Amino acid sequence: MAAGHTGAMLATIGVLSVLSASGSGPMADVEAGGEAEWVEPWDEPWDGAVFRSPSALGTVGVAQSRGSQRPGKDLPVLLWWSPGLFPHFPGDSERIECARGACVASRDRRLRGDPRTRALLFYGTDFRASDAPLPRLVHQSWALLHEESPLNNFLLSHTPGIRLFNLTATFSRHSDYPLPLQWLPGTAYLRRAATPLQERAEWRRRGYAPLLYLQSHCDVPADRDRYVRELMRYIPVDSYGKCLQNRELPTPRLQDTTTATTEDPELLAFLSRYKFHLALENAICDDYMTEKLWRPMHLGAVPVYRGSPSVRDWMPNNHSIILIDDFESPHKLAEFIDFLDKNDEEYMKYLAYKQPGGITNQFLLESLRRREWGVNDPLLPNYLNGFECFVCDHELARLDAEKAHAASPGDSPAPEPHIAQPSHMDCPVPTPGFGNVEDIPENDSWKEMWLQDYWQGLDQGEALTAMIHNNETQQKKFWDYLHETFMKRNQNL
Ligand SMILES: *[C@@H]1O[C@H](CO)[C@@H](O)[C@H](O)[C@H]1NC(C)=O
Ligand SMILES: *[C@@H]1O[C@H](CO)[C@@H](O)[C@H](O)[C@H]1NC(C)=O
Ligand SMILES: *[C@@H]1O[C@H](CO)[C@@H](O)[C@H](O)[C@H]1NC(C)=O
Ligand SMILES: *[C@@H]1O[C@H](CO)[C@@H](O)[C@H](O)[C@H]1NC(C)=O
């Protein structure tokens, strides 16, 4: 089940379609940005002189270093511990060539105890403290890939949880291999021409609302429906998904989510009739931005956004989205949207980034230029393979540092431990989308669910206090829980 879920999520962003070389993922109709280029993270050439004693590797069919300058030396092994994410076909092990040298990537769990296995790679959604591979071996780094929100695993939003790992690839700009722009194919995607205002005005005359809401995942940590429900009291919203639905999509084909994906051209054409799209992420985390934000911009609608608190850092210019949290109430927000809806000149200022030279945010442009992976771009590496090479390079460097230290402890210090930081998965405690948690009844489904899911191991009463006062006391509670399920087990093995 976990593997199936993994496949579905990564397929959404085209990673799997690239892996299977089909090049026709769900976003294939999107113009690729063409801004990215391969950046070599290391300047130094790898000397490759790593000695590892022979072991079971050969017997399980791992590729040996072939045609290398140093025959007989074995390569460091990176073991994908999470099932279903191994980015190589068709075998279980494959030699990979990275900037600093070569490694062997494998999903053969029998290699876990092998001295050459230098890193275990985990997918965050699948990771559970209670079934982690223990005891932990000191020479092995743990590498975490978790591009999703904490919705699928809150363990990683707690300091002791994220600090189990050494290397991360998350949505955060602070992670070791950052993926904040994982849903943005490139600047061309943003520049696509908007549907003309006259056409949209015609739809408004036919009874369509200014605002669109399309959401079928209702009880999420960000509690977005509670906000949208309140907003609907002050301004018309056409809501088509399962959440707060008040309207049907125009054709049976579009209504059927199995035939019309969210990147379906006919669906996109329909959505582009709306001037404003409610764009609320499923969880509030710094740098967690998804297609909910970028798709309306692609279509020339103005996102009415709640999600990453630092979203402004990534916007094409400083006047391209409406931030829900800039408004003191849903009522005030509704008034502002209504004002823009009636004032074309002010509205069009929000689309200025579509004009030549309109994308002025150098941080955004530079980040797109520097990332080495593409979004559904068959010509560029995907970030799964990219992260694998990042880990390979890191481990080769660490091996070199260990070797230098062994040869001359006085001149070369032992490599420092590298440990993931809370900023790599910066998702504060979920709070209600509108109002105070104390005022929401105990039987509210959002409250019930997130009290349980976020504060794993705490009882309801403790969880509620924790939610209201997220503080060190509570962090300690969580640490105790982790200690029970992980640390203690690790020591006893
Ligand atoms: C947005 O950027 C423009 C041009 O750089 C600047 O003049 C303006 O003051 C900025 N506005 C805000 C709200 O930061
Ligand atoms: C990996 O992280 C753990 C903490 O979770 C730390 O004890 C260990 O030294 C780190 N290992 C490396 C190789 O950095
Ligand atoms: C929650 O409890 C109240 C009474 O306290 C009741 O009126 C309401 O229907 C309940 N809601 C749900 C979802 O069970
Ligand atoms: C921390 O949370 C506890 C409840 O678990 C509360 O009693 C305490 O006052 C809180 N401390 C601070 C500094 O907020």
Q: Is 400 exposed, middle or buried (0-12, 13-18, 19+ CB in 10 A)?
A: buried
| Vertex 409: Cα angle to 403 and 414 (nearest 5) | 60
- d(CA 455, CA 437) in angstroms, rounded, equals 15
Taking Cα atoms as reference points, which of 161, 114, 108 lies closest to residue 139? 114
Q: What are phi and psi of 120, to 5 degrees?
A: -110, 135
pLDDT in tens, 211-251: 999 998 898 989 999 999 999 999 999 999 889 999 999 98
Q: What are phi and psi of 170, to 5 degrees?
A: -130, 180
Q: To the nearest whole percent, how much of the chain has pLDDT over 70? A: 80
* Amino acid letter for position 201: A
CB burial of 12-29 (b: ≥16 within 10 Å; e: otherwise) equals bbbbbbbbeeeeebbbee
pLDDT in tens, 55-109: 223 333 333 334 333 332 589 999 999 988 899 988 899 999 999 999 999 999 9
**482 confidence band (pLDDT: 50, 70, 90):** confident
Nearest ligand, CA 429: 4
Q: What are phi and psi of 168, to 5 degrees?
A: -135, 150
C-alpha to C-alpha distances, 311 to 156, 307, 386, 417, nearest whole angstrom: 21, 8, 24, 31
Q: Whose CA is nearest to atom 11 of ligand 2?
A: 417
pLDDT in tens, 118-167: 999 999 988 887 778 888 899 999 999 999 888 878 888 888 889 999 99
Nearest ligand, CA 444: 3
The angle that helices 460-468 and 472-482 make with each other, rounded to 10 degrees, is 140
Ligand 2 centre distance from Cα of residue 158 (Å): 17
Choice from 164, 405, 418 to test ligand 2 binding pocket (greatest atom count within 8 A of CB): 418
Q: What's the token pair of residue 369?
A: 């230029």
Ligand 3 centre distance from Cα of residue 444 (Å): 8
Q: Give the pLDDT of residue 492.
A: 72
Task: For tokens 């520097």, name the residue.
Answer: 370
Q: Give the pLDDT of residue 71.
A: 30
**438 confidence band (pLDDT: 50, 70, 90):** confident
> Ligand 4: residues within 6 Å at CB?
465, 469, 471, 473-474
CB atoms within 10 A of CB 349: 14
Does 8 have pLDDT greater than 50?
Answer: no
Q: Give the pLDDT of residue 6.
A: 42
- d(CA 179, CA 124) in angstroms, rounded, equals 14
Q: Give the pLDDT of residue 294.
A: 97
Q: Among the ranges 14-28, 137-151, 334-348, 419-433, which has the highest mean pLDDT value?
A: 334-348
Please answer whether residues 150 and 472 qualify as being in contact, where contact means their C-beta atoms are separated by less than 8 angstroms: no
- d(CA 380, CA 38) in angstroms, rounded, equals 8
> In 206-318, where does DSSP find H-type helix?
224-231, 252-255, 265-271, 291-299
pLDDT in tens, 252-274: 888 887 777 777 899 999 999 99
